[in-house]
Chain A
């Protein structure tokens, strides 16, 4: 099984006809994802890569029964796109867009409190349930169906971890890149909770980075409620304080959000923490 998305997910692409939208929609379709159409305001009624284009998300929901959306619209319009998807009743919204102003995301989070949608991202690689549905920009070929859940703030570091797992024969139930911004939809703890409740997930890889308190929150939750082995890694052990390391949220603000502090609390909470990102797969093989 899997979490959030599977072969029955009916996916639409917001920002469908743009370069990014077109390229990744094609890749997603090639992977076998059920992409049922897309939304580009003003281009409704036409066809794009053999799929219908709609003016609004609610039309796409009405006519195609869409329940998952992936967003490729530029930063200035991304908050609006997320809220439109939530308002139309989309269950899982995946925002790939990087560079959304923090103020917009604060508003989006407030808006989502009154909706039933789950937001993944923004500034993330998306979510994949191997061999069923790829809703994101990750290279599909490195994933393999299995029972390890992966949650990570990073894109390529997720691929690194997944690649190690796959090569050791450990497939994945679902892998989620939750994004590296200061304000994101699904948190590390929420993703871990979904994996803990998924009967087909046997172990969890949790990858974090400097900045914020999400890993500590997840670790404390795991200590209380965990029933599966968790392997953890925090990127940025050598990052200097006060400097933004690529991701908008990757900045050490105090003594609680350094890699060392996060690793310490994760260890205390029973997570199998690795110091080297090269050991993520091997450690999972040992503890599973």
Chain B
């Protein structure tokens, strides 16, 4: 589960990780108040207004239809209000959001941390995540902060350091020192970095996170080490151990059809294609999307109905897929093991009749337990549903149906 920067920073602070402080605002007025609070509590005359969306690249991203950037400096509470006015309700398009962008519902009004002082400020990059190959967590860090990490990895792989953590002992002091030395730090900044890394790893480990990305980690002009941005992804499977984090979920950040599907216990991912699909099992669902592509279509979604494909799930799936006007056909692909195909077929017929008014071709491929009976149920239903048993036949029907739809237009 992804969370917002302001939420991630709250978690970091709880674990003693120094962060760029601030207050969240949902209206321009709140932003002005927040700017005043930032000024009073953190002695920061200027403040930074940061759009809160679940995507990176906000600093370079722009609000649709304007030149407004997703992260801006305000020199007064009045200006903070004005910037918040421009951002809130707007759609921010960044490299990571895609062309559709994401609506800004909240801004973080944060302290200005690039103040002048005894030394030059310096930006680093640090993330903690699972190394699937080594089966251990790894801290990835580089002196090249504030930039796109993939670009650094591509052009300067030698500048990227990795420190693997043994799960039985956790992060050791020597590892934290090594990281601070590799970043070229000394004196106060060195000590601060050791404390920063130690607290950061504890936060990651205790919260059962899947990823922490701090970009940039900043050495301020007075040699403090703080997290200026924070991207945190929590392990969905571990959320039962962190009931309080469930509240951090922001449904506004998710596709509404995906949220609805989740309520029906359907695993759904919205895509942009013209052929919807409904499948049991994640691997077969991905394979079905591939079949659609090979048949000349584009998958409109990923949908795994899981082990219980019955009339209710099929109906919910139908409705969710058909809410997308771009869908020109639907392929249902069920491999019945424990689930019996004849029951799924009855479910399809029932759901089809209940919804009524289905104007797009439905292709049903049922294989496995009682597949023959299932095909007969579909064929005898009198509905405009194509049935198939072999996967190849289903692919051929998709191809034929698509060519007929395109020639209709």
Residue ranges of A at the interface with B (Cβ–Cβ < 8 Å)? 27, 75-76, 99-103, 106-107, 109-110, 137-139, 141-142, 152-160, 163-164, 180, 182-183, 207, 209-213, 217, 233, 235-240, 243-250, 254, 259, 275-279
Contact = CB atoms under 8 A, between A and B. Distances in A.
A207 B283 contact: yes
B287 A160 contact: yes
Given A109-B135, A183-B132, A246-B267, A103 B285 contact: no
A102 B290 contact: no
Contact of A160 (B271, B290, B302, B391): B391
A280 to B, nearest CB: 9
Nearest to B292: A238
B290 to A, nearest CB: 5
Contacts of A233: 287
B283 A102 contact: no
Nearest to B371: A163
Interface string B85-118: 0000000000000000000000000000000000
Interface of B: 130, 132-133, 135-137, 150, 166-168, 205, 208, 210, 235-238, 240-241, 267, 269, 271, 273, 279-287, 289-294, 298-299, 302, 304, 335-338, 367-369, 390-392, 395
B148 to A, nearest CB: 13
B399 to A, nearest CB: 12
Contacts of A235: 283-284, 286-287, 290
B208 A101 contact: yes
B335 A101 contact: no
Nearest to B169: A110
A109 B336 CA distance: 33
Contacts of B133: 212-213, 217
A152 B283 CA distance: 9
B323 to A, nearest CB: 19
Given A160-B391, A248-B236, A279-B392, 20 more contacts: A102-B235, A103-B235, A103-B238, A109-B135, A137-B337, A139-B338, A154-B281, A154-B284, A156-B279, A160-B287, A211-B132, A235-B284, A235-B287, A238-B292, A240-B271, A243-B269, A245-B302, A275-B290, A277-B290, A277-B291
Given A99-B237, A103-B205, A106-B130, A157 B290 contact: no
Contacts of A152: 283
A243 B267 CA distance: 12
17 contacts: A101-B235, A106-B135, A106-B137, A139-B368, A154-B283, A156-B279, A156-B335, A156-B337, A157-B287, A159-B335, A233-B287, A236-B289, A238-B289, A238-B290, A259-B290, A276-B395, A277-B290
Contact of B304 (A107, A210, A238, A246): A246
Contacts of A163: 335, 367-368
B314 to A, nearest CB: 16
Contact of B290 (A76, A154, A236, A249): A236
B284 A239 contact: no
Nearest to B302: A245
A237 B290 contact: yes
B294 A275 contact: yes
Given A103-B205, A243-B269, A183 B130 contact: yes
Contacts of A164: 391
A27 B337 CA distance: 12
A48 B236 CA distance: 34
B28 to A, nearest CB: 32
Contact of A102 (B238, B292, B395): B238
Contacts of B392: 276, 278-279
B55 to A, nearest CB: 10
Nearest to A282: B392
Contact of B282 (A99, A250, A276): A250
